[in-house]
Amino acid sequence: MKTALLSVWNKEGIIELAKKLAAADWRLVASGGTARALKEAGLSVTPVAEITGAPEMFDGRVKTLHPAIHAGILARDTDADRADLAAQGWQTIDLVVVNLYPFEAVIAQPDVTLEKAIENIDIGGVALLRAAAKNFARVTTLSIPADYPDDVASLNDEKFRQKMASKVFVTTSRYDNAIQNYFAALENAAKDSGKNTPINLTLYPIQTLRYGENPHQSAAYYAENPGATPMGGKLLQGKPISYNNMLDLDGAWNAVLNFDTPAVVVVKHLSPCGIATAFSVEDAVALAIASDPVSAFGSVIASNREVNADFVDEMGKLFVECIIAPSFDADARAFLAKKKNLRLLEVELDAPRVTHDLRAVVGGFLRQEVDTGDPGDSPEWRIPTKKQPTAQEMDALRFAWKAVQPVKSNAILLAKSDDERNFTVGIGGGQPNRVDCVRIAGERAGDEAKGSVMASDAFFPFPDGVEEAAKLGVTAIIQPGGSIRDEKVIAKADELGIAMVLTGVRHFKH
């Protein structure tokens, strides 16, 4: 008779599996809550304590950590090992069904205490999994309910046992990484520095992509959770999201979440080409597209409110690759379903966002905190020019300052404000010098540049950027300041009758 050891935190599917094992004449050995669940289901169960001859101790902290259990798992299929077991009066264990305390779920709770986190560090379960996985030549390990087989005869297949063993080591590695990262975060909080802390990442393949940025580049999407979905959202229609789609959607979604009011962001090739806020997103989408309708063709659009039929009407016949939003109403879904190649991605507004960027460079990686806007301890904005911004200009400047942040440096953005509607009219970025970006933003805006305000993600190193702004008809500028030539830049603004606001915060985006 073969023996199965069952000790699971997640009881999903365990009764069904145990019934199949019992029907196939397996002996069931279980501990604690698992044993109680099986007995309540009417199954015959041998308690772990009966095998070990020792009671569970310390409120269940010590149950399976005993030679009678681990020898039964680690014994190889040899005469010598069988003789050693027999000398002790112990038997082999042929199947280990274990899943671990939910440490990651517990530490994700905002009010979790250190004591509770420690209580959810599994010791015995990890030891059982590793022992069984090491001895996969004889022992089968099942670590997640999704792997419980429909036919227990598959437990006799060594290839299946090796596959399950591989999953175990992925699970225990991730589990240990989560614990290490948790304690590292505690140390960092205590000393307010993470410079010397190793980074451990376990990433799971979620989706193989058709190709990367170009057809000759292979690519895939990975996530920290094996059950994750692309962008953490739900694809409602359209082809699978591509590599380039993913980058554009990420940029657009992070940009639109900068705004509390209804907002729409249009992104093409990872560059925002239109941003607007308004009474509603159906008002905002038309304004965002109008900022640069040529670039909007083939773009992705992000909305921080539900997409409805009016939103779709305002898009007109514009071809876009994807729309990302917290929801789509039934009328919008019905109309957009006619555009079979259009991808609709639904993502909750409060879905987890990354806190750090990690970039590969030659020989290593760069890690930084994500720029989510002006930090809480930012200096107060200062107006050093003789001309003060009007109330309407100030509304536009506040909007422009948020809108310029997702634009590639050297970022320049022209915007206007009309009642509660705020919108870009021209965007220039990604050039080696700031003056060129002013000119590009002006070319995009055309006649709409006149009477606009301008935002710059970093300081003006020379007055020439202000001179170019004046030629466009810009009336007010917002920028960080901090150049050694600030006095000359401010003097040029005074000479040209332009108001200027200094924020004291830079938002480079390379």
DSSP 137: T
Asked whether 445 and 472 are in contact (CB, 8 A), the reply is yes
> Of residues 19, 39, 269, 450, which has the active-site annotation?
269
Instruction: Say which residue the tokens 């249009």 belong to.
Output: 266
Asked whether 285 and 314 are in contact (CB, 8 A), the reply is yes
> Which whole-number Å values give the CA distances from 76 to 29, 88, 137, 326, 387, in the listed order?
20, 15, 8, 54, 85
Instruction: State the distance between the two ends of the chain, measured CA to CA, in whole angstroms.
Output: 65
Q: How far apart are CA 64 and CA 19, in angstroms?
A: 22
Q: Is 269 a catalytic residue?
A: yes
Q: Which amino acid would we find at residue 392? A: Q
Tokens (6 digits) for 379? 């200096």
Q: What residues pair up with 501 in beta bridges, in sequence order? A: 478
**Cα of 177 vs its chain's centroid, Å:** 18
Q: Is 134 a catalytic residue?
A: yes
Nearest to 18 by CA among 148, 163, 156: 148
- Count CB-CB contacts under 10 A for residue 266: 31
Tokens (6 digits) for 102? 């939910």
> Of residues 134, 339, 387, 450, which has the active-site annotation?
134
The H-or-E segment that residue 108 falls in is: none
Pairing type for strands 3-8 and 27-30 reads parallel
Known catalytic residues are 134, 269
